[in-house]
Amino acid sequence: MRASPGPAGPSSVAPGGGAARGEHWWPVAVAVVSAALLHVALPASYRVDPVWVVPVVLFALLVALVVGDPGRIDRQKTWLRVVTETVIAFITASNLYAGIHLVSDILTNNKLFADNATGLLATGGVTWVTNVIAFALWYWDLDRGGAAARAHRPATEPAFVFPEMQHTAYAPAGWVPRFADYLSLSFWTATAFSPTDVSAIKQWAKLLMMVEAATSLIVATLVIARAINILQ
């Protein structure tokens, strides 16, 4: 008589439809490194001094995160969450420093860009792109307790409702957003100045999107208006 098969082992398929639980670090790492390089590309008066501080600090913190949670992001440790938010706060603060100087120079007719519309647009573009990255990281880190928490508890009440969550026939079972989804949300919020295909359903999420849209609108309006004035 044939023996009945034993109980099946646990499935290796992740709730998000992947082969393993948690998302990869590399999209987040690319975003952090890009933010550091963009800050270095700013004019000297808009950068945090000395010039190496921002890239070195961000790189060191990023290495600590990857070493502390190697492979996919799925370790729920308080210190990892603190370091993650420190990275995002550092990017936000350094870009805020640049943004305040940029707006101040435009409003006071600073001679730095008096006859250089191209330089003004480039500086404004760098500040704008870094702002998109910073808010994407905030959305990614705060929604449902962060990437590691989403890997373990994908059904937790979300702060953002993505189209894949409403149109389940077109998404893998148990789909959860990853960094690219939050980057898209941040980009369209900064571009359209309003919610797009993603709905914010938590108050803090709505307020954060309002802050990003307002910041983007102020920077874009002042930079473009000043550049047109220079070219005339």
Q: What is the pLDDT of residue 174?
A: 83
> What is d(CA 135, CA 127) in angstroms, rounded to the nearest whole number?
12
Q: Where are the domains of the chain?
A: 23-231
Q: What is the pLDDT of residue 69?
A: 95
Written as six digits, the tokens of 28 are: 């987040």
> What is d(CA 220, CA 183) in angstroms, rounded to the nearest whole number?
19
> What is d(CA 51, CA 38) in angstroms, rounded to the nearest whole number?
12
> What is d(CA 181, CA 171) in angstroms, rounded to the nearest whole number?
13
> What is d(CA 198, CA 186) in angstroms, rounded to the nearest whole number?
10
Q: What is the pLDDT of residue 16?
A: 41
Q: What is the pLDDT of residue 3?
A: 44
In tens digits, what is the pLDDT along the chain, a chain of 232 residues?
444 444 443 333 444 443 357 899 999 999 999 999 999 999 999 999 999 999 999 999 999 999 999 999 999 999 999 999 999 999 999 999 999 999 998 888 777 777 888 989 999 999 999 999 999 999 999 999 999 999 999 888 999 999 999 998 898 888 999 999 999 999 999 998 776 789 999 999 999 999 999 999 999 999 999 898 888 7
Q: Cα 147 to chain center, whole Å?
A: 12
Tell me if 231 sits within 8 A of 117, measured CB to CB: yes
Bridge partners (DSSP) listed for residue 200: 160
* Run of H or E residues at 58: helix 53-68
Q: What is the pLDDT of residue 90?
A: 97
Q: What is the pLDDT of residue 8?
A: 41
CA proximity to 208, closest of 221, 222, 189, 191: 189
Distant-in-sequence, close-in-space partners of 1: CB < 8 Å, separation ≥ 6: none
Q: Cα 80 to chain center, whole Å?
A: 17
Q: What is the pLDDT of residue 4?
A: 43
β-bridge pairing 72-73 and 199-200: unpaired
> What is d(CA 12, CA 135) in angstroms, rounded to the nearest whole number?
32
Give the predicted TM-score (pTM) of the model. 0.89
